Amino acid sequence: MSSSNDDFVFGRHAGIDFLKTQDADKINKIFLQRGVQEDFANQVYQLARKKHLIVQNAPKNKLDQLTNQANHQGLVLAVASFEYADLEELLDKFENEDREPFLLMLDSIEDPHNLGSILRTCDATGVDAVIIPKRRASGLTSVVAKTSTGAIDHVPVARVNNLVQTTQILKKRGYWFFGTAMRGIDYRRWDAKGKTVLVIGNEGKGISPLLLKQMDQTLTIPMIGHVQSLNASVATGAMLYQMFNSRHPLA
């Protein structure tokens, strides 16, 4: 049995990526559903042998139980609890590398599917780190890992006590803050070069008033349809690709 301190990574893409990229001591047990395709099973066994890990064949209902009936695709890894990055260490590292980082701050994103999708886009667009609050927000969970399709292993996530205080610390280090809001400059005019932090608000309430006051500029996504809102992960994706376009323009 897995221990109460286990988290789970499940799904073929996320599971295989975790097996390929993570140290063996982060993986407590591998559950492989009986009767999965032979080529997939062979891939799992091969990766497990390289790390001297044992694969436990289990019936589908066992994997269903471990993942609360989620779509595990026949593979579940019981892993050590997901680790958060230390923000101060990250900031020092960026300064030592003498570059201009791009950070994403998420103000109380509650849906783990949104967080997972956002991490996937962060990996694709080169976001240097993500900052989330410790309270009233999704943390790193098995659902986040599954939805991120492996990006959770590559994008540092720092969890902090107070976003407003963190904003003030980052401003002292020379970071500029841009937040999404109903009113602001058109996001297509956004120049995201330099030491930059993009702040995305809660799915329903947006950025909290105290945090919104810390923004150097607000950005808005124009909409011409009947529904005047976007899913948090979709809006973040649009913003991050404007950042990418700003930092990596076509020749």
CA distance 103 to 128: 6
d(CA 101, CA 86) in angstroms, rounded, equals 15
Q: Does domain 6-80 bear CATH number 3.30.1330.30? A: yes
Q: Please, what is the average pLDDT of the chain?
A: 92
Q: Say how far apart CA 39 and CA 132 lie, in whole Å.
A: 39
Contact of 123 with 155, CB cutoff 8 Å:
yes
Strand boundaries in 34-101, DSSP class E: 55-58, 75-80
- 43: enclosing H helix or E strand: helix 38-50
Half-sphere exposure of 177 (CA within 13 A, CB side): 24
Sorting pLDDT into bands at 50, 70 and 90, what band is 2?
Answer: very low
Domain ranges of the chain: 6-80, 87-247
Tokens of 80: 């050590």
55-85 pLDDT, tens digit each = 999 999 999 999 889 899 999 999 888 889 9
pLDDT tens digits, one per residue of 179-226: 999 889 999 999 999 999 999 999 888 999 999 999 999 999 998 888
Q: Is residue 142 predicted with pLDDT exceeding 90?
A: no
pLDDT > 50? residue 154? yes
Would 6-80 and 87-247 be classified into the same CATH topology?
Answer: no
Pairwise CA distance, residues 61 & 82, whole Å = 25
Lookup: tokens for 5 = 């301190």
pLDDT higher than threshold 70 for residue 5: no
Asked if 113 contacts 66 with a C-beta cutoff of 8 angstroms, the reply is: no
Q: Which amino acid is at 204?
A: G
Whole-number pLDDT of residue 6: 64
- The neighbour count for residue 216, using CB atoms within 10 Å, is 12
Global pTM exceeds 0.85: no
CATH homologous superfamily of 87-247: SPOUT methyltransferase, trefoil knot domain (3.40.1280.10)
CA–CA separation, 196 and 219 (whole Å): 13
